[in-house]
Structure 1
């Protein structure tokens, strides 16, 4: 037996090259952590499962009506919008990224981070601002009529912002930074060597970009576009306000206007299919994305930029200025001018209540989400099992789901849960509990936790990956428990990543609209729903102060990101 390759372990059983499949089954090292991780994954997947159940509980006539009257038009509109947004953000994001990386022109350093500012403006706020800015009574058409002497709309033509093309223009104006950031990183990190080689062989700048840099950056660009399209599918406020009947708008109109929860769920299933297609495309793009550098110090070398002169310099300045003015300047101008005329609303009880509700909801959701993210990541480190990694991966799928899908699925689950508890207590104790979670702020917090768990998990994981892999094990070898080593060693070192995760989830919860509309209790308003309600009544100016509060709050992560860009050696030189 001394020479036998088999060994016995009380933890693993018989192990060795000849052990049977049944004897090599490994017991969970931390069963409680594993159970909680799988429970979190199950809660995240509950909205999807309930959505499927609701959709297929409807009769054949419901499906027939949807396929005849709703899905053809809504699907065509949604796909047209996605194509238009994808094309616009690709051109705008790639062009601006190449411009600030490859060329030298006035204020290049400023625009390298200022081009990210539109990310602080949610699409629904941009839609309200653009509609006011480009309407007949807005400054653009007023200036046009004054300059050319037009007296009415019959004298000239102006594009209608309340259209599919207008919605694509609005969304592209604030979502293009996703593509800009991914393309810029690849142009800086990956394209420098091959671009320099191509230039030494006599290739012109345009040919270098088209034949060398663009093929290299294509996977990263596709990943950025996939994020843009998922944000486009998730939108409800912009599309509804601009009169564009997308699938997301159809979920709400089918359920609320027709009173058909099953029909709304069936439309949401079509949305879910589109989301899965986008997730597959993004995953394939990320798998093909690779970065190679010959040495670590190479990233600090200043890239060779081509100085622009004459009209080319002015053209570059205009190309970099227009996206910032459209995506950030117009909303700031519109809501700022309205806010100056509505300063009396600062003392409004409704606005104060909405601000407090947003603050409490976002604070609770961010704390809960980061705590769950820390637990899941630590559970993976402790168990090191494939099943645990799969469970954490499933728990992170919520960020890819539109808020409307999560909200509609949770609405059904929570209602069933509340009714079951109420029925149980009625039969056993004669007590009626009513609705415990449904129609409360807790439902909104739960939806935001499910949706933004991946955001917190990614931020914390990026921090923990920078630490030595056996750091906590060294503390445990000195007698610390797993919980003690995590609390005394990992948490202090992870405080920057934890703070980043808290800020990101807090800001995204402040901006969240789709799920909040479905799940909020009666009379409960956040800043986002406060602006939405005023815009729905045709008075977006009454929500201007709340809109500015959302933009200022959303500026926090954008400023942090811009600071990182400025610290980048290539961006600063």
Structure 2
């Protein structure tokens, strides 16, 4: 038994250190010489990049809060016609990649788009000098687009917080004749602040790591600076310096999230299922709430999806090509391999923690989960550094022993994308497997040890059958996230290798959204699966 524990211990630590290696490599490379490229960026454009990033994160977070918070309170505390469908529909924008929504809205609201053409026809305007129209390809436009697809983070966590609040407090507020607004401001909002802070940190991290939207909108941020410095200046050290700055910001946001969760433990949450203290909206209030909520769904999901469907229908022959099938197969292969590896890794680190309940056994789990907070563009830098070094070591070794040079077997193949995806999404699998293992009684472990089962046999014959559903869900979530990932795939894909995400990005960047519609719809459909699972989980819980 002791030998098996050593195996699980060593495996957990080795795998977790491998997954945290890209993050360490970024900071280590950032200490190297960047040939004055970084100094040049600091003295010229870095101030603009930093300011754009700050205003992008701030603007998106504020807009997402203004969109998601009222919707969450309405769905949690009010009765509306069709509320069952609306609760589910408000989550759907998370399945829509931000850069796809940005392409569609640019197509609609640009000078040559149908909206401005209609206005010119109606009012008789001839040129752009005859009227003023906001520029969609701007920092403000990027904030609006990102807020439309990210507000569900606010909606989900705030709605859950509102629904878990003590009914007695809300009933007391009514006895004191507090209006709905007073009840929201003095009771519901203060109790939900920790959850809202967590949701805002998620929105901020997603915004900070976005590349597709800001690139198309020509908004220079730190993410685009990493991309341009690496590929434009061919300077990995300077790109690592910028990436390390972004990681420091992300770690600050994560610390804020942890602090908010710690505060949340102070609150006593009691939700009685038999009591319904929701408000019944009537008249103008009811219609305003319906228009607000359904308007969000239409603007962020339904209208863009209908536009994609229109393009896919009319340009199906041009879209259904051998390239589309090949790139779909590429995405399928990468995602399946990533999900299998991530689930195996999650089983190892979780089972080790279960075998040895000391506080230090949680460290490998936490280290292996750090990559989820790292933006894909930054992660690509961190992955490329150790893989390139490994390629040089292998080539030098084989050449020294007369076997020739095998080439870039790590950094120049699909291995780089799979490794990056595992680092990025291992936390998803670890969390799912952890929750499944927590439901298994420790008495089963004791009984299996009494019967003489070794740890491997106990995992195979006792735990795996019981957590099979959790493992399948973990693999499915990792598969879906891998299918949609753009940033890391864009930088790490081998020569002549595309995924569906990069395929859509390339077409849309070339203003050929019509041919990108079919693969974009496929990505959206794949992204809907976890949202259905999340919504069902909330319904069962409440």
Query: Which TM-score band (shorter chain)?
Result: over 0.9
Counterpart contact for 2:68–2:154, Cα < 8 Å: yes
Deviation at 1:249, TM superposition (A): 0.6
Deviation at 1:301, TM superposition (A): 2.0
Secondary structure of 2:406's aligned partner: coil
Secondary structure of 2:442's aligned partner: coil
Aligned to 2:268: 292
Deviation at 1:487, TM superposition (A): 1.5
C-alpha distance in 2 between matches for 1:149 and 1:107: 42
C-alpha distance in 2 between matches for 1:366 and 1:123: 24
Confirm whether residue 552 of structure 1 aligns to residue 528 of structure 2. Answer: no
Aligned to 1:228: 203
C-alpha distance in 2 between matches for 1:154 and 1:45: 54
Confirm whether residue 169 of structure 1 aligns to residue 169 of structure 2. Answer: no
C-alpha distance in 2 between matches for 1:490 and 1:225: 36
Counterpart contact for 2:312–2:319, Cα < 8 Å: no
1:360 aligned residue (315, 333, 341): 333
| Structure 2 CA distance for partners of 1:483 and 1:123, relative to 1, 3 Å | same
Structural RMSD (CA): 1.8
Deviation at 1:137, TM superposition (A): 3.1
1:467 aligned residue (440, 443, 450): 440
After superposition, the C-alpha distances for 1:160-191 in whole angstroms (9 at most, x for unaligned) are 12111111101110111111111111100125
After superposition, the C-alpha distances for 1:382-422 in whole angstroms (9 at most, x for unaligned) are 12233221122111101011111111111121111011111
2:20 aligned residue (39, 45, 52): 45
Counterpart contact for 1:130–1:330, Cα < 8 Å: no
Confirm whether residue 304 of structure 1 aligns to residue 280 of structure 2. Answer: no
Map 1:266-281 → 2, pairs under 5 A:
266-281=241-256
TM-score, structure 1 normalization: 0.91
Map 1:335-350 → 2, pairs under 5 A:
335-350=308-323
Confirm whether residue 378 of structure 1 aligns to residue 348 of structure 2. Answer: no
Aligned to 1:331: 304
Confirm whether residue 100 of structure 1 aligns to residue 81 of structure 2. Answer: no
Deviation at 1:330, TM superposition (A): 2.8
TM-score, structure 2 normalization: 0.96
Confirm whether residue 73 of structure 1 aligns to residue 28 of structure 2. Answer: no
Choose 299-308 or 506-515, whichever is displaced more: 299-308
C-alpha distance in 1 between matches for 2:143 and 2:34: 35
| Structure 2 CA distance for partners of 1:129 and 1:191, relative to 1, 3 Å | farther
After superposition, the C-alpha distances for 1:323-376 in whole angstroms (9 at most, x for unaligned) are 111211132022111111211135301111110000000011011101100111
| Structure 2 CA distance for partners of 1:139 and 1:299, relative to 1, 3 Å | farther
Counterpart contact for 2:335–2:482, Cα < 8 Å: yes
2:361 aligned residue (378, 388, 400): 388
Deviation at 1:152, TM superposition (A): 3.5
Map 1:433-512 → 2, pairs under 5 A:
433-512=406-485
Q: How many residues align?
A: 541
Secondary structure of 2:519's aligned partner: helix
Secondary structure of 1:30's aligned partner: helix
C-alpha distance in 2 between matches for 1:320 and 1:565: 19
Aligned to 1:522: 495
Secondary structure of 1:531's aligned partner: helix
| Structure 2 CA distance for partners of 1:507 and 1:236, relative to 1, 3 Å | same
Aligned to 1:256: 231
Deviation at 1:562, TM superposition (A): 2.7
After superposition, the C-alpha distances for 1:14-72 in whole angstroms (9 at most, x for unaligned) are xxxxxxxxxxxxx9981221111111121122112221232221247333212112321
Counterpart contact for 2:377–2:491, Cα < 8 Å: yes
Map 1:117-132 → 2, pairs under 5 A:
117-132=92-107
Aligned to 1:145: 120
Aligned to 1:14: none
Consecutive unaligned residues of structure 1, counting only runs of 5 or more, are 1-10, 12-26
Confirm whether residue 33 of structure 1 aligns to residue 8 of structure 2. Answer: yes
After superposition, the C-alpha distances for 1:478-523 in whole angstroms (9 at most, x for unaligned) are 2222111211221122122112111111111001011111111011
Aligned to 1:182: 157
Secondary structure of 1:58's aligned partner: coil
Deviation at 1:560, TM superposition (A): 2.0
| Structure 2 CA distance for partners of 1:430 and 1:501, relative to 1, 3 Å | closer
Consecutive unaligned residues of structure 2, counting only runs of 5 or more, are none
C-alpha distance in 2 between matches for 1:203 and 1:481: 62
